[in-house]
């Protein structure tokens, strides 16, 4: 098994050869291992036009080598005021933090090569990283990319946070978010989310807003609570991968899901037709634990995992655990349905609540997302 703190897991994938990346179940970035491929040199924006042949007046082109309108994603976001802008990102590693506020609605970001390994937005802040001027970033402030606007869509992009515990033994706030998304109708198709703790923060802008989010054909990896937040989110045909660790002597190494669903929200996270694999030893990961934040002690975290394959890295005997003794997982809304794989084996029935066939009829993307149908855009 690979160490979670070897640079290849998080930072070295930007420079590693394809063979080394494949050992982690990933393909490394060939464009930066042996020079840019011809399509990136001659047509950095692929089939999506160029500044000289703009697809629409509201299409902006981003290229770190200067062949677009901007060299950074944040510069393009800043320029794209109002609603309905499309950003086309040329292959490259964009080392920066990016924030899109609530006013930039109905935005679309496209990885021009249509391969998420080629377009990477990455930074390395953690919750405990000191901020210029004093204080630390905190979990929310650690995010590489923050999107608050409604109607956001991303395709073929990698969102990464390559902060490593091993590089910062003096920092105890090890949460390091790759993406925090808060808007309603936020869709991610064929994207990757890379980090360790708190990789993908699927949330909402406020407690009373039930933001709907959709992730299709995406890849997410991490260790502690690496998919978390209070959004009403559907993960369909996604791959979740738990990382190995060398800094802990015993299980559990971490937790895949940590929803913080508001008590008034009837639906939290729905994972459907997906799979969970692991670099870690068998049974060293929990499937989920409930997050009841101090800002909302009435939260009732909700998670349904159905029709999915759970690998041997998941503790089949006790797949759930508490984050706080005051809010036991048994009092939350956790359930499974027709899952397969060694991590889905039911050995202690009381530890694996299952939906009935009747209950499963409403555990669907249509129920969770209502009149919004982002899967038709896949």
CA separation for the pair 285, 244 (Å, rounded): 10
Give yes or no: 69 in active site: no
CA separation for the pair 226, 245 (Å, rounded): 14
From the candidates 63, 162, 223, 225, which is the catalytic residue?
Answer: 225
3-state secondary structure 1-62: CCCCCCHHHHCHHHCCCHHHHHCCCCCCCHHHCCCCCHHHHHCCCCCCCCCCCCCCCCEEEE
From the candidates 162, 198, 203, 315, which is the catalytic residue?
Answer: 198
Give yes or no: 162 in active site: no
| Angle value at C-alpha 288, between 8 and 20, nearest 5 degrees | 15
3-state secondary structure the chain: CCCCCCHHHHCHHHCCCHHHHHCCCCCCCHHHCCCCCHHHHHCCCCCCCCCCCCCCCCEEEECCCCCCCECCHHHHHHHCCCCCCEEEECCEEEECCEEECCCCCCCEEEECCCCCCCEEEEECCCCCCECCCCCECHHHHCCCEEECCCCCEEECCEEEECCCHHHCCCCCCCCCCCEEECCCCEEEECCEEECCCCCEEECCCCCCCCCEEEEECCEEEECEEEEEECCEEEEECCEEEECCCCCCCCCCCEEEEEECCCCCCCCCEEEECCEEEECCCCCCEEEECCCCCCCCCCCCCEEEEECCEECCCECCCCCECCCCCCCCHHHCEEEEECCECHHHCCCCHHHCCECCHHHHCCCCHHHHHCCCCHHHHC
CA separation for the pair 273, 378 (Å, rounded): 15
Which residues are marked as active site? Answer: 198, 225
């Amino acid at each position: 098994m690979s160490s979670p703190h070897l640079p290849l897991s998080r930072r070295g994938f930007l420079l590693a050869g394809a063979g080394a990346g494949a050992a982690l179940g990933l393909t490394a970035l060939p464009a930066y291992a042996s020079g840019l491929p011809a399509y990136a040199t001659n047509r950095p924006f692929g089939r999506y036009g160029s500044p000289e042949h703009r697809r629409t007046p509201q299409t902006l082109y981003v290229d770190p080598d200067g062949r677009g309108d901007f060299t950074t994603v944040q510069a393009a976001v800043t320029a794209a005021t109002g609603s309905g802008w499309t950003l086309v990102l040329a292959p490259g590693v964009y080392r920066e933090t990016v924030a899109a506020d609530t006013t930039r609605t109905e935005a679309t970001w496209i990885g021009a090569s249509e391969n998420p390994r080629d377009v990477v937005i990455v930074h390395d802040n953690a919750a405990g990283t000191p901020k210029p001027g004093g204080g630390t970033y905190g979990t929310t402030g650690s995010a590489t990319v923050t999107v608050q606007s409604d109607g956001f869509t991303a395709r073929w992009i990698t969102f990464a946070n390559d902060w490593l515990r091993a590089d910062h033994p003096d920092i105890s706030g090890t949460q390091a978010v790759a993406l925090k998304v808060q808007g309603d109708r936020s869709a991610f198709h064929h994207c990757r989310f890379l980090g360790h703790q708190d990789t993908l923060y699927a949330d909402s802008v406020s407690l009373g807003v039930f933001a709907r989010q959709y992730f299709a054909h995406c890849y997410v990896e991490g260790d502690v609570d690496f998919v978390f937040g209070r959004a009403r989110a559907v993960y369909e045909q996604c791959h979740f991968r738990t990382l190995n660790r060398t800094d802990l002597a015993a299980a559990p190494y971490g937790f895949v899901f940590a929803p913080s669903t508001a008590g008034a929200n009837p639906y939290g996270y729905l994972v459907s037709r997906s799979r969970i694999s692991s670099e870690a030893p068998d049974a060293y990961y929990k499937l989920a634990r409930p997050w009841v934040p101090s800002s909302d002690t009435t939260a009732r975290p909700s998670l349904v995992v159905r029709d999915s394959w759970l690998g041997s890295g998941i503790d089949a005997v006790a797949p759930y655990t508490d984050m706080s003794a005051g809010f036991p997982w048994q009092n939350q809304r956790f359930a499974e349905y027709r899952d397969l794989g060694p991590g889905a084996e039911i050995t202690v029935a009381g530890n694996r609540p299952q939906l009935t066939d009747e209950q499963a009829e409403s555990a669907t993307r249509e129920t969770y997302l209502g009149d919004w149908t982002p899967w038709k855009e896949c």
